[in-house]
Amino acid sequence: AEPAETRAAQGDADAAADRMPAQERLEELERKAAERDEYLELLQRVRADFANYQKRVQKERETDRRYAPLPLVAGLLGVLVNFERAIEAAEAEQASPGLLQGIRMIYHQLMETLQRHGVQPIEAEGRPFDPDVHEAVMKENTDQAPPGTIVRVLQQGYKLHERVVRPAKVVVAAMPEGVEEAAAEQEEPEPPSDGRQKRHAQP
């Protein structure tokens, strides 16, 4: 059983609460309700932040896994370039068909392996120059393609999924010199009329 003093103190507290004016009790309830809402809102924010954190970590893990082969791919692309040069040299020197066929077979097998892992060649020739995926090595004055169009590919570029591993080295079309000079002359402002020239010339 509770001591008499404890029961008396509880009774005094209940009596004091009963004597509290209705307006004060209402304000006290509203204050506690506001505190509850604040705690609930804080809890919801914490849960939302944690969910976003989990999503971000998951996305970073997927990205790391997706591009994990990047160093290996970069190294194999160097080997691929050497095979391309070997094929060009064998064709230029008219090497034996068996040797040329063997080099091409290894080249295609390596290319197919890279493609299965997400490596794709960058499209270049005939397309507008894009500094994100192309590297302009030189310009060529020509009227056979619009200015800014890639007219030749000097070295094939490659991407791993959406990331550029090696940009394509290209030649970009430029306006022919004569046409460029004519266009510049057309853009020059016209001289003043003869009448105005004469008035300025008079002393």
Give the tens place of pLDDT for each residue, 3-29.
556 555 555 555 555 555 777 777 778
Task: Give the separation between CA 31 and CA 78, rounded to whole angstroms.
Answer: 71
Mean pLDDT estimate for the chain: 83
Spell out the SS3 assignment of the chain: CCCHHHHHHHHHHHHHHHHCCHHHHHHHHHHHHHHHHHHHHHHHHHHHHHHHHHHHHHHHHHHHHHCCCHHHHHHHHHHHHHHHHHHHHHHHCCCCHHHHHHHHHHHHHHHHHHHHCCEEECCCCCCECCCCCEEEEEEEECCCCCCCEEEEEEECCEEECCEEEECEEEEEEECCHHHHHHHHHHHCCCCCCHHHHHHHHCC
pLDDT higher for 201 or 32? Answer: 32
pLDDT higher for 186 or 171? Answer: 171
pLDDT surpasses 70 at 117: yes
pLDDT in tens, 23-64: 777 777 888 888 888 889 999 999 999 999 999 999 999 999
pLDDT higher for 155 or 196? Answer: 155
pLDDT at 11: 56
pLDDT at 152: 94
pLDDT in tens, 63-98: 999 999 999 999 999 999 899 889 989 888 888 888
Q: Quick check: 190 and 182 in contact, CB under 8 A?
A: no
Average pLDDT over every residue of 162-179: 89
Q: Quick check: 167 and 130 in contact, CB under 8 A?
A: no
